[in-house]
Structure 1
Amino acid sequence: MNRLACAACLLSTLAAWTPPHAAASSRVPAEKSNQIEIRNFMFTPKTLTVPVGAKVVWINRDEEPHTVVSANGQFAPSKALDSNDSYVATFGKPGTYVYYCTVHPFMTGTIVVK
C-alpha cells in the first residue's frame, strides 16, 4: 500500500471514530434532569418526576448549610450539606416522596416516582 492510500485509510478511520468521552458527555443531560439545586433557600425544581430506579442528586448552591430529609422516613437523610456539597438518593419504588430541610423547615420538595 502506498503512503497516500495509507493516509486516506487512516483519515477515514479517524473520522468514524468517536472518542470515549463523547458517549459519556451525551448522558449529562439525562443525569442533570435528575438534579435538584438548593439555591436561595429553595429546592429547584420543587417537584421532580423520575422513573423507578432513578438516582436523584441534590446540590447545595447556598452559602448556608441545608439537609435533605424524607418527611415519612422513606429514604435516608443527608448530612448537613455545605456550599457545593451534594447528596444522592436512589428511588426503587413508585410513590410520592416529600422531603424538607431540617435547618429551614419551610424548604420543602417532592419526588414523584413512576
Structure 2
Amino acid sequence: MVPGPEETSSTVAPPSPSAAPPSPSPFTGTVTIRDFSFEPADFTLGPGTAVTVTNTGTTAHTLTAQDGTFDTGPIAPGGSATLTAPTQPGGYSYLCTFHHFMRGILTVA
C-alpha cells in the first residue's frame, strides 16, 4: 500500500545562521624593507597600534601614507622606525617617497 498525502510527513530544517566572515588578524611583526620592496606590502593594524619598520636594504626609504596621515621619515640602511597606525579605520595606501614604485596598503581595523 502506498501512503497517501495525509500519511507522509517531511521535516525541513530551518536554515542555519551563517557565520560572519573572520576579521583580518592584526599584524604583530616587523615591516621589513628589503632593497626595493615592503614585506609584507599589505598588512592590518588595530587603531593606534605601533609597528616597527626595519630597512635591511642598501639605500634610504620611507613608509609614507599617500594622504600624509603617517610618515616614518627617511630610514637609513640598517635602521628602523616606529609607525603608529591612524585611529580611524580604513585602508591607507602608502609608498616610499624616494622610490614611488614601492607601494602597499595599511588597513586599520
Normalising by structure 2, report the TM-score. Answer: 0.67
Aligned to 1:103: 98
Deviation at 1:105, TM superposition (A): 0.5
Q: Contact 1:34/1:50 (CA < 8 Å) preserved in 2?
A: no
Deviation at 1:79, TM superposition (A): 2.4
Identity, % of aligned positions: 32
Q: Contact 1:34/1:48 (CA < 8 Å) preserved in 2?
A: no
Give distance in 2, aligned partners of 1:66 and 1:53: 22
When the two chains are superposed, the root-mean-square deviation of aligned CA atoms in Å is 1.6
Q: Contact 2:35/2:59 (CA < 8 Å) preserved in 1?
A: no
Q: Contact 1:34/1:55 (CA < 8 Å) preserved in 2?
A: no
Q: Contact 1:62/1:83 (CA < 8 Å) preserved in 2?
A: yes
| Structure with greater helix share of residues | 1
Letter in 2 for 1:90: T
Aligned to 1:12: none
Aligned to 1:71: 66
Q: Which stretches of structure 1, 4 residues or longer, exceed 3 Å deviation after superposition?
A: none
Q: Contact 2:35/2:58 (CA < 8 Å) preserved in 1?
A: no
Pair 1:55-2:50 in alignment: yes
Aligned to 2:79: 85
Give distance in 2, aligned partners of 1:95 and 1:56: 17
**Secondary structure of the structure 2 residue equivalent to 1:37:** strand
Pair 1:94-2:98 in alignment: no
Give distance in 1, aligned partners of 2:29 and 2:106: 10
CA radius of gyration, larger in: 2
**Secondary structure of the structure 2 residue equivalent to 1:84:** coil
**Secondary structure of the structure 1 residue equivalent to 2:38:** strand
Normalising by structure 1, report the TM-score. Answer: 0.65
Give distance in 1, aligned partners of 2:50 and 2:88: 12
Gapped runs of 5+ residues in structure 1? 1-31
Give distance in 2, aligned partners of 1:40 and 1:56: 19
Give distance in 2, aligned partners of 1:81 and 1:52: 23
